[in-house]
Amino acid sequence: MKVIVVNEWLGFFRNKLFLFTSIFFAIFLSFVTYLGILQNNMQNNEQEFAHDHIRAQWDEMEASNPHSAAHYGSYAFKPLNVLNSIDEGVNSVTGNVLRLEGHRQNDIVFSEASQSLMISKFGKLKPSLIFQFIIPLFLIFLSFNSYNSERKSGRLKLLLAQNISLKKILFSKIFSIWLIGVALLFITILMQLFFNSNFLDFDIFLRLILIFVSYSIYYFILISLTLFLSVAFNSSTASLSITLLTWVFWTIFFPTIIANTTEKISPLPTRIEFKEAMAEDRSKGIDGHNPRGDRRDALEKATLKKYNVDRLEDLPINFSGIVMQEDEEYGNMVWDKHFGSLYEKLEKQKRTYQISGIFNPFSSLQSLSMGLSGTDMFHHLDFLKKTESYRRVFIKTLNDEYAFGGSKTGERGWKASNEFFRSIEDFKYEAPKFFSFSSKYFFDFIVILSWLLFSVFLILFIAKNKKYEVL
* pLDDT surpasses 50 at 187: yes
Tell me which H or E stretch contains 101.
Answer: strand 97-101
Q: What is the dihedral of CA 46, 47, 52, 55, to 10 degrees?
A: 140
pLDDT tens digit string along 192-248? 999 988 888 999 999 999 999 999 999 999 999 999 998 888 777 888 899 999 999
State residue 76 phi and psi, 5-degree precision.
Answer: -110, 130
Q: Are strands 97-101 and 74-77 parallel, antiparallel or unpaired?
A: antiparallel
CA end-to-end span of the chain: 20
* Identity of the highest mean pLDDT range in 68-72, 276-280, 374-378, 466-470: 374-378
| Contact status, residue 127 vs residue 210, Cβ threshold 8 Å | no
CA distance 338 to 453: 42
pTM, two decimals, is 0.90
* pLDDT surpasses 70 at 116: no
Q: What pLDDT sits at residue 67?
A: 82
Residue 134's SS3 state is helix
Helix residue ranges per DSSP H, 374-441: 377-404, 418-423, 434-437
pLDDT tens digit string along 308-365? 999 998 999 999 999 989 989 999 999 999 888 888 888 888 888 899 999 999 999 9
Q: What pLDDT sits at residue 107?
A: 58
CA distance 409 to 318: 4
Q: What pLDDT sits at residue 467?
A: 60
pLDDT tens digit string along 410-438? 887 789 999 999 999 999 898 999 999 89
DSSP letters for 157-221: HHHHHTT--HHHHHHHHHHHHHHHHHHHHHHHHHHHHHHTGGG--HHHHHHHHHHHHHHHHHHHH
For residue 68, with 0-12 CB atoms within 10 Å meaning exposed, 13-18 middle and 19 or more buried, which class applies?
A: middle
pLDDT tens digit string along 21-53? 999 999 999 999 999 999 999 989 998 998 899
